[in-house]
Every structure is written in structure tokens, then in C-alpha cells.
Amino acid sequence: MGRMSSEATEALIPQLDAVDESPGAAALRARSYELLRAAQGALVADVGCGAGRAVAELADQGVRVMGIDVSDQMIALARERWPCGEFRVGDANALPLEDGEAAGYRADKVIHALADPGRALAEARRVLASGGRIVVCGQDWDTLVTDSSDPELTRTIVRKRADQVPSPRAARQYRNLLLDAGFRDVTVEVHTGVFTDGSFLPVLTRLAEVCCEHGAITPAQADTWIADQRERARADRLFAAVPIFMAAATSP
């Protein structure tokens, strides 16, 4: 996982919280836990665990969970929020686990952030025992739908924001990536999140801000677009839809 600056991590935290607390998010996480099929006491690695919510939820089900994140800052926050959880700093390409040590591997909103997803999935296969389960979940950054007063600018923002992601189309590649890594019984589901209130504003705001920071749009364009989204939220007219791809497979 690529390391982020302290400022970038601080900006990411409210976005992750907004997504985790949005309608349907708890059900989506629960579905990922179902697909893991983890037995009581079995070790699951939650890779890219962020602030640790999934670690706590899986632990409540009697699963032994190790939350792993490349960010010291995220791990510190996770330990603060969930003091009973097990958290370690670690990289998706070099996990702090022995060969075949884990019964499950989960990565939510992680694979697209990696420059080489195939390398991370090869590492996942290394740490999984035979018959272990892997579940990867995330969005395809080219397929975010947002209503706005300027569709052309919105298309530019979505496309240019995708260009800033290391592997923006990894989600549509999940099945092939898992097959290429040697996994079997690969399944893929799509769950579309629909957002219509101000809780999603930090995510939309950040879309435009990142594009502006990279020179893809002007500050005036960013300000106008963000103001439009804020007014839509105020008037109960905000609309965004994000297809979330969830793939699962078994280690040979």
C-alpha cells in the first residue's frame, strides 16, 4: 500500500467514516463477513483496515482478526477507537503473517490504491491456508454517478479523479486478478450505494478538491461544483450512486 502524507490521511478519515456510516454500508460489510465463512477463533487478516470498524465487528462474531494498515496514523486511530482489537502496521505486499497462517483475507477499499494489485493478491494467497477465503471489495473509480447542474464538468471530475488513483479500474478486474493469482471458485457481486443527504458531501467535495490540486480543473470550477453539491444537500436534492464490486474466492 502506498504511504500517504499525514495531511492526506487526516483528509481521508472523515470520508471513510461517511462511507462506513452511510445507508447500506453495514449490510455490505456484513455480506463480506458472510463470504469469508470464518469459523470461531479462525484468523482473518483485514488488510487496509483503516480506523478498524470491520475488525471490531468481526471480533464480535468470535473471529480472531488482525487489522493491518500501512499508515501508523490509521493504526493509532484504530487502537484508540477499538482498544480490544489487534492491529499492526504492515504493507499489503509484505504482510506480517507466516505462510498459510490465515483462514481469511479481507480487503475493503484497498486494491484500487495499489500500483500492482496482482502482487498483493499473490501475497494474500501466500498467507492463506488451503481452503482459506479471500474477499475484496471496492468501487470502480470510472463508474461513480453524481447528479449536478454541470454534467460535462462532472464527467471531467470523475474521469480526472480516477486518473489520480493507482489502479482505478481494479474492481472490474477482480475476477481475472483472483484467477491469475491461482484462486478458485471466484464469485463477483455488485451492490450499488445510493446517497441522498449531506453525509456524503465530504466525499463529493474531495473529488473536486483533488482534481483542482492536480490542475485538472480550475479553483473557480471546483468552488462552483462544490457549491452546487452543498446546495443540493441543503435542498434535499443531492444524488450520488456508487457501484461496489465484491469478489470472493477460495485458496487452493
pLDDT for 4 beyond 70 = no
Phi/psi for 241 (5° steps) reads -135, 130
Cβ neighbours, 10 Å, residue 53: 23
Residue 19 confidence (pLDDT): 73
pLDDT classification of 9: cutoffs 50, 70, 90: low
pLDDT classification of 3: cutoffs 50, 70, 90: low
pLDDT digits (tens, 9 = 90+) for 94-138: 999 999 999 999 999 999 999 999 999 999 999 999 999 999 999
Phi/psi for 223 (5° steps) reads -60, -40
Residue in this structure with the C-alpha cell 462544490, named with its chain if needed: 226
Q: Which residues contact 42 (CB under 8 A, 6 or more apart)?
A: 63, 64, 103, 104
pLDDT: is 16 or 88 the higher one?
88
Q: Domains in the chain, please, with CATH?
A: 6-140+166-194+243-250 (3.40.50.150)
SS (H, E, C) 92-151: CCECCCCCCCEEEEEEECCHHHCCCHHHHHHHHHHHEEEEEEEEEEEECCCCCEECCCCH
pTM: 0.88
β-strand partners of 243: 192
Residue 2 confidence (pLDDT): 47
Q: DSSP secondary-structure letter at 94?
A: B
Residue 8 confidence (pLDDT): 67
pLDDT: is 15 or 62 the higher one?
62
pLDDT classification of 1: cutoffs 50, 70, 90: very low
Question: Measured between alpha carbons, how far is 112 from 1 in angstroms, rounded to an integer?
Answer: 10
pLDDT digits (tens, 9 = 90+) for 203-230: 899 999 999 999 999 999 999 999 999 9
Q: Grid coordinates standing for 22? A: 452511510
pLDDT digits (tens, 9 = 90+) for 173-214: 999 999 999 999 999 999 998 999 888 898 899 999 999 999
